[in-house]
Amino acid sequence: MPVPGKDPSAKDFETRVEAVQGRLRAYLTASLGDAHDAADVLQEANLVLWRKRADFEPGTSFWAWAQKVAYFQIMAFRKRRKRDRLVLDDDVLNLLATEATPLLEDESDASRLPACMKALPDRQREVIEAHYFEKQSLKALALRLSSTPAAIGQLLYRARLNLQRCLRGVRTTP
């Protein structure tokens, strides 16, 4: 049995990394919102996992440790991309990561995210993108869309519910 804090055998460690690849890919796709970016960050995370394999303590949750490493790789990726105007702020990233994790038991859930966004009614998708990606306030959106902040808030709420239902495989309604 491996001693805690010591370098586990390469084969055992490789098996553990392979076992969590689907969940890591799903977590990264949900957190970053783009499958290509998620694939890049997954490769970086895998390299960090390998370099830090001696830090893993046998008997603890490998998934939790790997997810934490992936989270820090997301943060590093976002830092490199800071100039991109479509990057989510830290609060939204943390919310997405926290709320998406239970939904992402297998990678098929993450692959549904782009399709679920496309399945939203145009106005709901527009409000989600403007509020979360362009960081527009409800008041600014209300002015832009000739509506009230309360109505935009309700629209945003319905859009989030529809996204959640779609990810869970429940039919969405406008």
Alpha carbon distance 15, 13 (integer Å) = 5
How many domains would you assign to the chain? 1
Q: 77 and 40 in contact (C-beta within 8 Å)?
A: yes
Tokens for 153, please give them.
């808030």
- Of 52, 53, 45, 18, nearest in space to 29 by CA: 45
Say if 126 falls within a structural domain: no
Residue 33 has phi, psi (to 5 degrees) of 80, 10
Say if 11 falls within a structural domain: yes
Say if 93 falls within a structural domain: no
The model scores a pTM over 0.75 = no
Instruction: Provide the pLDDT for residue 18.
Output: 92
Instruction: Provide the pLDDT for residue 162.
Output: 86
Say if 113 falls within a structural domain: no
Q: Domain range spanning residue 79? A: 1-84
Q: Which residues contact 106 (CB under 8 A, 6 or more apart)?
A: 22, 23, 26
Look-up of token digits 């009230």: 148
Say if 48 falls within a structural domain: yes
Alpha carbon distance 120, 160 (integer Å) = 10
Say if 129 falls within a structural domain: no
Say if 26 falls within a structural domain: yes
Tens-binned pLDDT, residue by residue, of the chain (174 aa): 344 444 447 788 899 999 999 999 988 988 888 888 889 999 999 999 999 998 888 889 999 999 999 999 998 888 887 755 554 556 666 666 665 555 455 445 556 677 888 888 999 988 888 887 778 888 888 898 899 988 888 898 888 888 888 877 755 444
CA distances from 174 to 31, 121, 130 (A): 25, 6, 18
Q: 89 and 132 in contact (C-beta within 8 Å)?
A: no
Say if 38 falls within a structural domain: yes
Alpha carbon distance 94, 23 (integer Å) = 17
Alpha carbon distance 12, 156 (integer Å) = 46
Q: What is the CATH number of the domain that holds 71?
A: 1.10.1740
